[in-house]
């Protein structure tokens, strides 16, 4: 990206990706500052991983000789990310809080903070690329296909992206690790964080049960026969195998069971046997609203590449409008289409946007 050297605030998470991003920007001649974002308010007695991460970010910034700011966005996170997360679970859907966090916190609250302290740009350790042409800023896949995070960024619009830098766009994860090791960064061997940040190592049932009512209900097979009990339908997602505790059903094969449908109204989940059971596959999905990254009037129907989850192999598909909804027809069946997750659209490795599956 051909940007004049100026001041940039890097979102420092205490991980290897953001640390290497800060190192590379300083090496390129930018005036670099770090910002550690506290997005979740832990309760007394809870293990606070954010304090560990903040210490790691401080060590990195000390070594790179750059200042580290700290901002508490936990109120904004609760109102704009967590409340939506709970609301979707109550409706029986499976939301992706990382997508909302990027839109509402990392590319809104963080961006406003950087503007307030007079920075020219923000930067993050996301694996994604920005392309500037035709008076637009396009979001494109990173070089590292496996790590590419454009799926999580599809609700960030080009006005938010145009003053952003992704230093890892042309690097693989292995190369990032090597840079960290070669420069003796203290987080060079730190493991990547996985899962939902505010749940951490906790059991989902125990965590969700503090905020929403979880009632046991029936598990039914594809013939409507009750074959087990669950701990609350909100805890289960389409395609899930773990946590069903079904086995030894009379006249049934010893094959694993998978959730293929949920009835939230009646607090029931439906299961079928076999990883390739046709009940787990769909030929299309429906979306109520699309968030486009660029202000471009795309003519529908539109041939796209479709991705329904992070690291899902893109599938050729056709996007079309039908009344007040959007339908996406697949070129081949897709397993475990999950309401609440996002369907994201691509064209020649450019991320166009996407929407929440209903």
Nearest Cα to Cα of residue 129 among 114, 111, 148, 152 = 148
Q: Could you tell me how far CA 92 lies from the centroid of its own chain?
A: 19
* 101 is annotated as an active-site residue: yes
- Cis-peptide into 332, omega within 30 deg: no
Query: Cα separation of 249 and 222, whole Å?
Result: 14
The token pair at 9 is 């605030």
| Residue 220 Cα to chain centre, angstroms | 31
Catalytic residue among 61, 101, 164, 351: 101
What is the b/e burial string over 113-138, where b = at least 16 CB atoms within 10 angstroms of the residue's CB?
bbeeeebbbbbbbbbbbbeeeeeebb
Residue located via tokens 């094969």:
253
User: Residue 261: CB partners within 8 Å, gap ≥ 6?
Assistant: 238, 269, 270, 279
Single out the residue of 58, 356, 38 nearest to residue 198, CA to CA: 38
Query: Strand 342-347 relative to strand 302-307: parallel, antiparallel, unpaired?
Result: antiparallel
β-strands 217-220, 268-273: how paired? parallel
Q: Which of 48, 61, 164, 197 is catalytic?
A: 197
Q: Which residue has the tokens 């420092």?
A: 12
Q: Token pair of 48, please? A: 């606070």
Nearest to 196 by CA among 101, 126, 291: 101
Residue pair 4/36 in contact (Cβ under 8 Å)? The answer is no
Is-catalytic flag, 61? no
Active site residues: 101, 197
């Amino acid at each position: 990206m051909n940007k004049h050297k100026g001041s940039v605030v890097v979102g420092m998470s205490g991980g290897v990706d953001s640390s290497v991003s800060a190192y590379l920007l300083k090496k390129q001649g930018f005036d670099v500052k770090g910002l550690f974002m506290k997005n979740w308010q832990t309760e007394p007695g809870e293990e606070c991983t954010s304090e560990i991460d903040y210490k790691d970010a401080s060590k990195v910034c000390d070594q790179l000789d750059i200042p580290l700011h700290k901002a508490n966005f936990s109120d904004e996170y609760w109102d704009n990310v967590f409340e939506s997360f709970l609301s979707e679970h109550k409706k029986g859907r499976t939301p992706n809080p990382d997508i909302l966090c990027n839109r509402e916190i990392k590319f809104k609250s963080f961006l406003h903070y950087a503007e307030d302290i007079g920075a020219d740009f923000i930067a993050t350790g996301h694996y994604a690329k920005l392309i500037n042409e035709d008076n637009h800023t396009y979001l494109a896949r990173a070089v590292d296909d496996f790590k590419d995070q454009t799926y999580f960024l599809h609700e960030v619009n080009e006005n938010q992206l145009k003053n952003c830098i992704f230093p890892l766009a042309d690097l693989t994860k292995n190369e990032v690790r090597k840079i960290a090791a070669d420069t003796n960064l203290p987080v060079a061997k730190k493991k990547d964080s996985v899962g939902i940040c505010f749940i951490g190592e906790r059991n989902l049932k125990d965590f969700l049960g503090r905020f929403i009512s979880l009632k046991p209900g029936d598990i039914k097979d594809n013939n409507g026969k009750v074959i087990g009990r669950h701990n609350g339908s909100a805890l289960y997602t389409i395609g899930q195998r773990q946590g069903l505790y079904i086995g030894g059903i009379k006249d049934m094969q010893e094959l694993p069971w998978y959730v293929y449908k949920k009835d939230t109204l009646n607090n029931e989940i439906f299961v079928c046997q076999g990883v390739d059971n046709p009940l787990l596959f769909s030929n299309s999905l429906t979306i109520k609203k699309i968030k486009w990254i660029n202000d471009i009037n795309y003519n529908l129907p539109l041939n796209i590449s479709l991705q329904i989850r992070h690291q899902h192999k893109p599938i050729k598909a056709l996007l079309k409008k039908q009344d007040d909804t959007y339908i996406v027809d697949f070129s081949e069946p897709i397993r475990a289409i999950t309401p609440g997750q996002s369907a994201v659209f691509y064209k020649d490795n450019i991320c166009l946007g996407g929407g929440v599956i209903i």
